[in-house]
Amino acid sequence: MKYETKEIEFSSIREMPQSERPREKLLAKGAESLSDVELLCVILGNGVPGMPVHGISQLVLRKLAIEGALTLDSLKGIDGLGTAKITQLLAAVEFGRRIGGSVRRKLKDSSDVYDLIRHYGDRRQEHFLAITLNGANEVLHTQVVSVGLVNRTLCHPREVFVEAIKHFGTSVVLAHNHPSGSLEPSTEDLELTERLRKSGLILGIEVMDHIIFTDENYYSMREGGDLWV
């Protein structure tokens, strides 16, 4: 998977407007409003001479894109990461893994969906996601189905519904980001949604909604009347 995010353009966090600094932004808007780079900046705290914290964070994300996971060995060669920061980062990843499986997030409406997946909004490629829900609309699993152009080939029903079947889900919410910034569903978006909706009916898994989003806003096909139910 090619993993790309918008980079922080300031040479240091101190040069940023206070409201845009990761810690201040988290306090004002919540952790879900931060990009992946910003979250890592908060976890790592500070950089080292010649390597600001957001530069280290971007290197960590590039390493993640190449190796698919963060491990002790994969982090050792990153400039600016010493033993203390590596252990801090690995502990945060493990803590998130543990509590992620014990606390189920309930989605009440499309804004809750957006809060869950908005950190994909700054990707430079389209990411198509399928969120599996149980009967109480609690999130059982969030899956990146494909990266790249959203079309019938990449978003086949077997890939979209495999995790819902595995986790005994009763419904899914579909979502994909639009790097262009437009929230308007294309003809291909609508045709794909209807194809997946019909496939879900056969499987007994309802397609609850299809969210098109950017890092600033979103569009719900159900609320917009584009999802035939």
Return the higher-pLDDT residue of 5 and 30.
30
Provide the mean pLDDT of the chain. Answer: 85
Q: What is the pLDDT of residues 41-89, one digit of tens each?
A: 999 988 888 888 888 988 898 888 777 778 898 898 888 888 999 999 9
Question: 96-111 burial by CB neighbour count: b if 16+ within 10 A, else e?
Answer: eeeeeeeeeeebeebe
Residue 229 has pLDDT above 60, yes or no: no
Please name the residues in contact with 52: beta carbons below 8 A apart, sequence gap of 6 or more: 11, 12, 13
Task: Identify the H or E element spanning 221.
Answer: helix 221-224
Phi and psi at residue 185, in whole multiples of 5°?
Answer: -70, 135
Task: Return d(Cα 212, Cα 68) in angstroms, integer.
Answer: 26
Q: What is the pLDDT of residues 105-154, one digit of tens each?
A: 889 999 999 988 988 888 888 999 999 999 999 999 999 998 886 554 46
Residue 18 has pLDDT above 80, yes or no: no
Residue 97 has pLDDT above 80, yes or no: no
Q: Is 224:209 a contact under the CB 8 Å cutoff?
A: no
CA gyration radius for the chain? 19
Strand order, beta sheet including 171-177: 139-147, 127-133, 171-177, 206-213, 218-220
Q: Is 165:143 a contact under the CB 8 Å cutoff?
A: no
Confidence of residue 209 (pLDDT cuts 50, 70, 90): very high
Task: Return d(Cα 203, Cα 129) in angstroms, integer.
Answer: 18
Give the number of other Cβ atoms within 10 Å of residue 166's Cβ: 12
pLDDT, residue 154, reads 66
Give the number of other Cβ atoms within 10 Å of residue 90's Cβ: 14
Whole-model pTM: value is 0.66
Among positive and negative, which fits the CA dihedral 44, 50, 52, 58?
Answer: negative
Confidence of residue 205 (pLDDT cuts 50, 70, 90): very high
